[in-house]
């Protein structure tokens, strides 16, 4: 199927100036979930930031649907059809003091129908907020509710509603079930599988092996800023993944 995301030789530095990514290569196809497994702190966050245009790579290339976005900012990356569900929904995914409706249109608030001639249309924002709150089962389904007062599961639904509502081409999702109960986790997983069935490419970053194995078509293991192996779902036993995540390289690597 179509290659949506192609990364080759990607390098990047951490905020402390140390090497965070060293020659990362990966490909994600349309209608596929590629899981990134690994112990936290092995370059997963920096990889997501590079793909989103939030961190400038030091080497390599990032292509989305054939277009080189390696040096483009987050605005143009988003315009290429990329959505992001961050690992920390409270700090990175939401403005907690804003309403559910305002959070559901973040990033789109300056364009029609939510604004005209630079003036926000609060009625249009509330209507879209009510529609998405209903579609994504946000409880209470009140677009005027304050996001910071919602449970963790409902906050994650607000983030999903915003990021999935425009049928993105590529979805980057990091630690999607962190801090969620079983019901909310199942809801999030079902939504990601729906996106795969729709034909979206999904890059799933998670430190939860059960989550990665349950959702992924292929699994790439990160260790010390590198992809040390990429396995099919059938090959990715818990034992094999555990060894790779601990730094045991496959034979011949």
**Residues 76-92, mean pLDDT to the nearest whole number:** 93
pTM of the model: 0.94
**Residues 13-28, mean pLDDT to the nearest whole number:** 96
**Residues 87-105, mean pLDDT to the nearest whole number:** 96
**CB-CB contact of 5 with 26 (8 Å):** yes
**Residues 233-249, mean pLDDT to the nearest whole number:** 90
**CB-CB contact of 229 with 24 (8 Å):** no
Q: Say what the pLDDT of residue 248 is.
A: 82
CA distance 36 to 202: 11
**Residues 66-72, mean pLDDT to the nearest whole number:** 92
**Residues 139-162, mean pLDDT to the nearest whole number:** 96
**Residues 5-17, mean pLDDT to the nearest whole number:** 96
pLDDT at 253 over 60: no
Q: Say what the pLDDT of residue 250 is.
A: 62
pLDDT at 24 over 80: yes
Spatial neighbors of 121 by CB under 8 A, at least 6 apart, are 113, 114, 115
Q: Please, which residues bridge with residue 59 across strands?
A: 11
pLDDT digits 0-9 by tens, 186-236? 999 999 999 999 999 999 999 999 999 999 999 999 999 999 999 999 999
Q: What is the mean pLDDT of the chain?
A: 94
Strand 32-37, strand 82-85: pairing: unpaired
Which range has the worst mean pLDDT, 164-173, 174-183, 229-238, 243-252? 243-252
């Amino acid at each position: 199927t179509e290659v949506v995301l192609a990364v080759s030789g990607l390098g990047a530095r951490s905020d402390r100036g140390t090497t965070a990514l060293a020659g990362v290569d990966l490909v994600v196809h349309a209608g596929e979930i590629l899981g990134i497994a690994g112990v936290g702190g092995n370059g997963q966050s920096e990889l997501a930031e590079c793909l989103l245009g939030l961190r400038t790579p030091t080497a390599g290339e990032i292509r989305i649907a054939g277009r080189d976005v390696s040096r483009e900012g987050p605005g143009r990356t988003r315009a290429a059809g990329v959505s992001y569900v961050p690992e920390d929904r409270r700090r990175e995914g939401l403005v907690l003091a804003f309403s559910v409706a305002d959070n559901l249109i973040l990033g789109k608030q300056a364009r029609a129908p939510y604004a005209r001639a630079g003036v926000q249309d609060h009625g249009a924002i509330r209507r879209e907020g009510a529609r998405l709150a209903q579609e994504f089962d946000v409880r209470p389904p009140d677009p005027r509710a304050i996001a910071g007062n919602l449970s963790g599961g409902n906050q994650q639904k607000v983030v999903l509603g915003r990021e999935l509502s425009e049928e993105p081409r590529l979805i980057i999702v990091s630690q999607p079930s962190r801090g969620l109960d079983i019901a909310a986790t199942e809801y999030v997983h079902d939504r990601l599988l729906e996106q795969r069935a729709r034909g979206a490419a999904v890059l799933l970053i998670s430190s939860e092996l059960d989550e990665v194995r349950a959702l992924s078509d292929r699994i790439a293991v990160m260790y010390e800023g590198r992809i040390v192996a990429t396995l099919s779902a059938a090959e990715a036993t818990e034992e094999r993944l555990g060894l790779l995540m601990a730094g045991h390289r496959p034979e011949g690597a």
